[in-house]
Amino acid sequence: MPIHEKSLIRPENLREQENLVIEGMDVSGHWSTFIESRAVTDYNEALQEEIAALPGGENIHRCWQCGSCTNACTVNAVNPEFNPRYWIYLIRLGMEDELLRDKDIIWQCVSCNKCTYACPRDVVPEGVMKATAHWLELKGHTPKSPSMLFDEVFAGQVIKTGRIEDGLVLRDFFKRTGQPLNQPWLVAMVLGLVKRFPLAYLIKLGIATIRPDRTRGWGRARDAINEYAEEVEAQNRKALGLGAKGAK
- Residues of the shown chain interacting with ligand SF4 in the complex, contacts defined by CB under 6 A: 63-69, 72-75, 84-85, 88, 109-115, 118-121, 123, 125-126, 129
Q: How far is the CB of 91 from ligand SF4 (least distance, A)?
A: 11
Q: How far is the CB of 201 from ligand SF4 (least distance, A)?
A: 36
Residue with smaller CB distance to ligand SF4, 118 or 205: 118
The set of residues, in sequence order, having a beta carbon less than 8 Å from that of 125 and lying 6+ positions away, is 69, 84, 85, 88, 115, 116, 119
Residue with smaller CB distance to ligand SF4, 28 or 71: 71
Angle at 142 between CA 184 and CA 63, to 5 degrees: 105
The set of residues, in sequence order, having a beta carbon less than 8 Å from that of 187 and lying 6+ positions away, is none
The set of residues, in sequence order, having a beta carbon less than 8 Å from that of 7 and lying 6+ positions away, is 80, 81
Coil vs helix vs strand at 139:
coil
The answer to whether 103 and 91 have CB atoms below 8 angstroms apart is: no
Residue with smaller CB distance to ligand SF4, 93 or 118: 118
Q: How far is the CB of 97 from ligand SF4 (least distance, A)?
A: 22
Residue with smaller CB distance to ligand SF4, 27 or 105: 105
Residue with smaller CB distance to ligand SF4, 124 or 138: 124
Distances (CA, A) of 234 to 54, 138, 139, 144, 239: 11, 11, 14, 18, 9
Distances (CA, A) of 129 to 136, 145, 154, 155, 197: 11, 13, 20, 20, 40
CB-neighbour burial class of residue 141 (10 A; exposed 0-12, middle 13-18, buried 19+): middle
Among 110, 54, 58, smallest CA distance to 84 is for 110
The set of residues, in sequence order, having a beta carbon less than 8 Å from that of 156 and lying 6+ positions away, is 172
Q: How far is the CB of 9 from ligand SF4 (least distance, A)?
A: 19
Q: How far is the CB of 184 from ligand SF4 (least distance, A)?
A: 26
Q: How far is the CB of 137 from ligand SF4 (least distance, A)?
A: 17
Residue with smaller CB distance to ligand SF4, 8 or 190: 8
Residue with smaller CB distance to ligand SF4, 148 or 202: 148
Q: How far is the CB of 103 from ligand SF4 (least distance, A)?
A: 15
